[in-house]
Structure 1
Amino acid sequence: MSTIGMWFRRDFRIQDNTALYEAVMHAKREGSKLLFFYHLDPKFIRKRSNHHLYFFQSLSVFKEELSKIGVTLHLLYGNEQTAFEKLLSDIELQQVYFNLDEVGSGLQRDLYVKSLLMEKKIQVHSFHDSHIHSTSQVVKNDGTHYHVFTPYYRAWLKKPKRKPKSIEAQLLKEVCICVDSLSNGEEILKNTISSSPIKWDKIGEKQARKQLSSFLEDSIYAYHEKRDIVFESGTSGLSKYLKTGNISARTVYDHVSQCYGLGSDVGVETYSKELAWRDFYHSVHYHFPLSKEEEINLKYKDLKWNEDESLFQSWCEGKTGFPLVDAAMKQLNETGWMHNRLRMITASFLTKDYLISWKKGEQYFEEMLIDYDESSNIGGWQWAASVGTDAVPYFRIFNPITQSKRFDSKGEFIKLYIPELRNVDIKHIHEPYKMNDLEQAISGCILGVDYPYPIVDHKIQRERAIELFKTHKSEG
């Protein structure tokens, strides 16, 4: 009897998991047995960031969910060579199934492991799974890729969308096997999770589906109106589940598409477009593989960014003196998540008000975001910094005060994350530096003591940002 390996990576779910579905169908058809495994890489275990700690908590929940239906997820520990050599020495595998990565370090890992397995005469089956459309599916008539979202989106809409595929839990139990000697990463995962300073809740495939149902019932029809209001529950709340693969983008799209004609189609279409943006940035990253370290728009490659580390730290810690920016950064640091409108505002502030490189902000978000998606994060930061593909023009700069008044009009979000400002009158909540001494005393917020004065003048910095780009453009 042959044995098939199912290698999980960032697809912690049973339903609509492409590689898993194909592996199970093969095992059922051929009478093979299926071994589930995940590779714990020491270099990621050592990183104590929100991003990785949340990911490993999600892995642990997935392992528990499988255990409840009688299926073991084996944890292999070590670098790629060590982990896979142990796997192959402990059990004779004929085939390995997995959902591939098309970008970043995941792509390099896949190429290496695939080569290692093929040298051992093991058949490798890899599948596109993490996005609705792969990087090769939405292209121009001449086969080249899109640089601009709008024509990409028009082409994306025309492509048929594959329906989700389901698997019975009983079938998994029947075809899966357990090999006790393989799980040498059990204690390492337990220790990693137990030492995490944040314990997140509502993790896993069941919670992802509950969140999707809640969004479709309560929020999607007003999504276009409320998604930017930072104190409202107007977003889908699905990004962290898509990151860890607790739910597939296909499943989300399939359910969303069924909402057309049942309420505001504008809200439904607006959200569907966000799923297309996710595919678009993934495609851009694939075609610009160096975009994590290099501006896609090469004419801005050598911009002379500000390298003031103290300014950068004030941004990271939420101590800029601009309440909405500071509240957003505190939300990120405390919860590992940030509202999308706030991601744009904080990115614009770092790159256009502080004139600090987008790369530093992108790297900080990588550490702190539990829903960190490399392609979308890079795309978003290069957009805000005006150095990427289809980016905001460099002269269009977010005013942090205007944005604050527009998207947190009553200052509710600000007061939630900055307790020092909770008693500040609404007329000053967006600009506390305008309070006089008496108003400061009444509010219990003394500027320069309880809350900082603005470190920079937005009007001046706006002109400097425009000059930075204009001068560089003329030099280029």
Structure 2
Amino acid sequence: MSKKEKVNIFWFRRDIRLEDNTGLFHALEAGLKVVPVFIFDKEILDKLEDKSDRRVDYFYQALEEIHTELKKHKSGLTVFHDKPVEAFKKLIKDFEIDTVFCNRDYEPQAIKRDEEIQDLLKKNDVNFQYFKDQVIFEKDDVVKNDGKPYTVYTPYSRKWKENFKSVTFKKMEVDFSKFHQYSPSKFLTLKDLGFEKTDFEFKKPSLKKTIIDDYDQYRDFPAMDHTTRLGIALRFGTISVRKCVEFAQKHNEVWLNELIWREFFMQILYH
């Protein structure tokens, strides 16, 4: 790893995918080589009593898949097991960083974390840019005519659908030549994180027409394998919400309404 090479950083959080990733796309288009990073927050992991936590294994396997893909292009994913602020201190020591790119996170703990990181970066003359990626419409995009947030779903949903008519999605392809070509010294193992392998096998999430078309009929019967099973994928960003909404529009409005519910609750969480 070259010392003090000028780069941009892309910080993966709840967006564990290379495809259709807003912040990553902008990082790759910004002109400098990009170092992709993920931080397993030590304070969060240390609080998890179950060392066979399938959520951790899910995250790990999804990250491992990204690392494997990057290695094909002579790059790799740098993974930390630390407090985020400490991880960034190490990155600042190793690189001359122009900008840290990421996608917005809306949970209170995440907002506090990001403020701490921004303070550190500002003190070191590093820019910080984040983008909307988890949702179609965020905190103040869908509000009442008086500017106040909705507290009831039905009028929120109507306004959401009205606003969506003017939305267009930009095609965001991955240019692997723009990643910094280096091999991280070590890709952490689950054991390094203090966790064990589970029976979970990560498979890249996909949108199945046969399931989505019949979603309204079978969604309440999980034993029939006719639910989307995309909850965790949307939660951790291993699938793009834009792809889901586009697919739902074409195939099943009931599922589209479920996706709008998700954004409604995230808006309430913020406000």
Same fold flag (TM > 0.5): yes
**Partner secondary structure for residue 98 of structure 1:** strand
> Which amino acid in 1 is paired with 2:149?
H
| 2:74 paired residue number | 70
| 2:162 paired residue number | 158
Gaps of 5+ in 2: none
- Percent identical among aligned pairs is 28
| 2:173 paired residue number | 167
> Which amino acid in 2 is paired with 1:120?
N
Superposed counterparts of 1:372-411, under 5 Å: none
Pick one of 224, 227, 232 that aligns with 2:219.
Answer: 227
Pick one of 134, 143, 159 that aligns with 1:130.
Answer: 134
| 2:263 paired residue number | 279
Conservation of the 8 A alpha-carbon contact between 2:103 and 2:133 = yes
Conservation of the 8 A alpha-carbon contact between 2:139 and 2:267 = yes
Instruction: State which structure, 1 or 2, has the greater radius of gyration over its C-alpha atoms.
Output: 1
Note if 1:144 corresponds to 2:148: yes
**Partner secondary structure for residue 254 of structure 2:** helix
| 1:314 paired residue number | none
Note if 1:8 corresponds to 2:12: yes
Q: Distance in 2 between matches of 1:274 and 1:162?
A: 21
Q: Distance in 1 between matches of 2:34 and 2:222?
A: 45
| 1:120 paired residue number | 124
Pick one of 232, 240, 254 that aligns with 1:240.
Answer: 232
Q: Which has the higher strand share?
A: 2
**Partner secondary structure for residue 258 of structure 1:** helix
Pick one of 4, 21, 24 that aligns with 2:28.
Answer: 24
Q: Which runs of 4+ in 1 moved over 3 A?
A: 187-194
Note if 1:34 corresponds to 2:28: no
Conservation of the 8 A alpha-carbon contact between 2:9 and 2:97 = yes
Q: Distance in 1 between matches of 2:73 and 2:249?
A: 31
Superposed counterparts of 1:194-209, under 5 Å: 195-196=196-197, 198-203=198-203, 207-208=204-205
Q: 1:194 to 1:178 in 2, by over 3 A?
A: farther
Q: Distance in 2 between matches of 1:176 and 1:190?
A: 28
Q: Distance in 1 between matches of 2:70 and 2:235?
A: 19
**Partner secondary structure for residue 128 of structure 2:** strand
TM-score w.r.t. structure 1 length?
Answer: 0.52
Deviations 1:184-242 (A, max 9, x none): 6x33545448723x231243xxx21xx21x2x2x1222211111123212211211211
Conservation of the 8 A alpha-carbon contact between 1:60 and 1:189 = no
Conservation of the 8 A alpha-carbon contact between 1:37 and 1:74 = yes
Note if 1:255 corresponds to 2:259: no
Deviations 1:39-82 (A, max 9, x none): 22212333233333322232223222332343311113321232
Conservation of the 8 A alpha-carbon contact between 1:99 and 1:129 = yes
Pick one of 93, 107, 110 that aligns with 2:111.
Answer: 107
**Partner secondary structure for residue 16 of structure 1:** coil
Conservation of the 8 A alpha-carbon contact between 1:15 and 1:165 = no
Conservation of the 8 A alpha-carbon contact between 1:4 and 1:96 = yes
Q: Which has the higher helix share?
A: 1
Gaps of 5+ in 1: 260-267, 288-476
> Which amino acid in 2 is paired with 1:163?
F
Pick one of 169, 176, 198 that aligns with 2:179.
Answer: 176
| Deviation (angstroms), 1:179 | 5.0
Q: Distance in 2 between matches of 1:183 and 1:79?
A: 19
Q: Distance in 1 between matches of 2:189 and 2:95?
A: 22
| 1:406 paired residue number | none
Note if 1:83 corresponds to 2:87: yes
Q: 1:188 to 1:231 in 2, by over 3 A?
A: closer
| Deviation (angstroms), 1:164 | 5.0
Q: 1:194 to 1:82 in 2, by over 3 A?
A: closer
